[in-house]
Amino acid sequence: MTTLSSKKVSVIVPNYNYVRYIEKRIDSIVKQTYPIYELIILDDASTDGSAEVIEKKLAEVKAKYPELKVQFVRNEENSGKAMAAWKKGWELATGDYIWIAEADDLSGRKFLEEVMEGFRDPKVVLSYTESMVINGAGLLVAPNFRWSRDKEKTGHYKKSYIKGGRQEIEEIMAIRCTIPNVSAVVMKKKEIFLGYLEEALQFNQVGDWYFYVRVLGNGKISYNRKALNKFRVHSDSKTGQAKKDWWHYQEILDMHRMFAIRYNLTEPVVKNMKLEELRVKQRMERSKHK
């Protein structure tokens, strides 16, 4: 039987102005029941004192976990794109697997232990668990995110599964990004994936969706329906929202065109893609009048 604990996991924590969450976030990572190999924290030129808090916290971590590899990298200027941090972290990581753990989210202690089970199948390239939803204060908003990802009520997430990446795309991921939060995801570290991250930088809103799809072209996906990740959803800011909505809509159209060309999509899936475009467009129109 495969010894999972020998698989080295590098954890990348992108942070920008999350000083109120970062200490608890680091605790939720280093206290995992599955030992992490490396912790890389990337600060994107925060202005809220995050860097000082992180440095102090990491000193404690190094003292308590001397075997743990730790890096802290500070940007002098804000990159403006989440995918840029993903790419930088991927370049710095030296482990076999990558967990991008967003600075404002949290994880149950057994998250990594459970999600790594998916890699017992050597063809799995991406393994993720279900997420519960919390608000800015850490209060539970929803026990899972299944309701949002399977709007067509196909029952796709009724049980845990491992299946081919292409099958996952053609069945449901061509409609919308069905991985709601990268903090719930662990991926194999392959050199080719770094190129996909470079390609994902072309997007303003759906770079994560594009990246997952490209990764899944290389193997299988594992889904664990236990909600072991806590996805923090903040109140929407109205600043620049109309522009973000427009980008989001246009980029969804771009993604759907790509799926139509590259994949064997059934008529119901194509129909649901069109309905998703309509939903997003209607939401964009409503936001204009608020």
Instruction: Please measure the distance between the N-terminal and C-terminal CA atoms of the chain and give it in whole angstroms.
Output: 57
Is residue 269 within 8 Å of 174, Cβ to Cβ? Answer: yes
Is the four-CA dihedral 104, 235, 130, 88 of positive or negative sign? negative
Which residues of the chain are under the pLDDT cut of 70? 1-5, 236-243, 289-290
Which residue bears the tokens 């017992």? 120
Which residue bears the tokens 């080719």? 192
Q: 10 Å Cβ neighbour count for 39?
A: 24
pLDDT in tens, 101-128: 999 999 999 999 999 999 999 999 999 9
SS3 65: coil
Q: Per the structure block, which two tokens stand in for 230?
A: 């806590």
Stated pTM of the model: 0.94
The stretches of the chain forming alpha helices (DSSP H) are 22-30, 50-64, 82-92, 111-116, 146-149, 165-168, 191-200, 207-216, 241-262, 267-288
Q: For the chain, what is the mean pLDDT?
A: 94
Which residue bears the tokens 């949290």? 106
Q: Per the structure block, which two tokens stand in for 235?
A: 């109140």
